[in-house]
């Protein structure tokens, strides 16, 4: 920890300047330049990944400040009373929650690869699927992960919930939930959890079963998406973080990525 504001590291990606170290209790908040969009993130967080995917997909210039979400800096509670990532900040305007920040960016930058359907009905349908994911799949994911996929009932519950996503994509007949060519908002909102199926041991270290061929093919296509590739970490890093998080050996910067 230091009294001096951390510096933002220049990266090879012109749209994303990142403070790699996770700021923790006692670290000051780096000054934010006028007109600069900043995301407060945590590189292992699936909820922050949602907004990071949108930033990349829409090629929005921004800087990233990573926050230690286990021992949080006090000033972060002023950004979001819940002290959760992601948080967006620009010129004294602060937005938080992964769905809200993602929709905000899509509306704020409408000419840079719109991620929502222009069709009002399709957009509403996508939001209904996302609401289902948030209400049913998200909870089943974490319960199964908490038992490392060793509880048969919890594992089966998760598979039952995602069968509805299999059916939905099959009915659409497209490569992605967002259409034939590119992932859309719905794809990016649910992707971070599919990226963590094996390394969070939701299914005991296994990936999607052969009983879900449509989702299997979707996941393979998503892995080739440039935005997904931009934030994807090695399996070992996710395992190390998930295994130790919220324990005395919680790690952030110690994990090699």
Question: Strand 62-67 vs strand 38-41: parallel, antiparallel, or unpaired?
Answer: parallel
The Cα 38–Cα 170 span in angstroms is 37
DSSP label at residue 116 = S
Task: Confirm if 243 and 229 have CB atoms less than 8 A apart.
Answer: no
40: left (phi over 0), alpha (psi -120 to 50) or beta: beta
The Cα 225–Cα 212 span in angstroms is 21
Please tell me which residue in 29, 37, 42, 45 is annotated as part of the active site.
45
| 45 carries an active-site annotation | yes
Residues 6 or more apart whose CB falls under 8 angstroms from that of 213 comprise none
Task: Confirm if 54 and 105 have CB atoms less than 8 A apart.
Answer: yes
Residues 6 or more apart whose CB falls under 8 angstroms from that of 196 comprise 46, 145, 202, 238, 242
Question: Looking at the annotation, which residues are catalytic?
Answer: 45
């Amino acid at each position: 920890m230091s009294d001096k504001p951390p510096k933002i590291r220049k990266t090879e990606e012109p749209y994303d300047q990142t403070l790699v170290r996770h700021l923790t209790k006692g670290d000051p908040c780096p000054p934010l330049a006028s007109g600069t969009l900043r995301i407060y993130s945590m590189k292992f967080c699936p909820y922050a990944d949602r907004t990071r995917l949108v930033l990349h997909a829409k090629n929005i210039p921004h800087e990233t400040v990573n926050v230690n979400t286990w021992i949080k800096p006090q000033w972060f509670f002023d950004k979001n009373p819940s002290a959760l990532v992601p948080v967006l900040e620009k010129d004294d305007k602060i937005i938080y929650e992964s769905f809200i920040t993602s929709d905000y960016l899509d509306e704020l930058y409408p000419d840079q690869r719109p991620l929502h359907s222009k069709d009002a009905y399709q957009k509403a349908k996508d939001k209904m699927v996302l609401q289902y994911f948030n209400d049913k799949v998200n909870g089943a994911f974490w319960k199964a992960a908490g038992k490392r996929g060793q509880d048969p009932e919890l594992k089966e519950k998760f598979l039952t919930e995602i069968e509805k996503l299999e059916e939905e994509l099959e009915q659409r007949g497209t490569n992605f939930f967002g259409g034939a060519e590119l992932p859309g908002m719905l794809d990016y909102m649910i992707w971070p959890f599919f990226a963590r199926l094996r390394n969070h041991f939701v299914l005991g270290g296994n990936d999607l079963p052969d009983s879900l061929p449509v989702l299997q093919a979707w996941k393979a296509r998503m892995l080739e998406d440039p935005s997904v590739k931009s934030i994807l970490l090695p399996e070992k890093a996710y395992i190390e973080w998930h295994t130790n998080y919220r324990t005395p050996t919680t790690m952030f910067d110690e994990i090699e990525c």
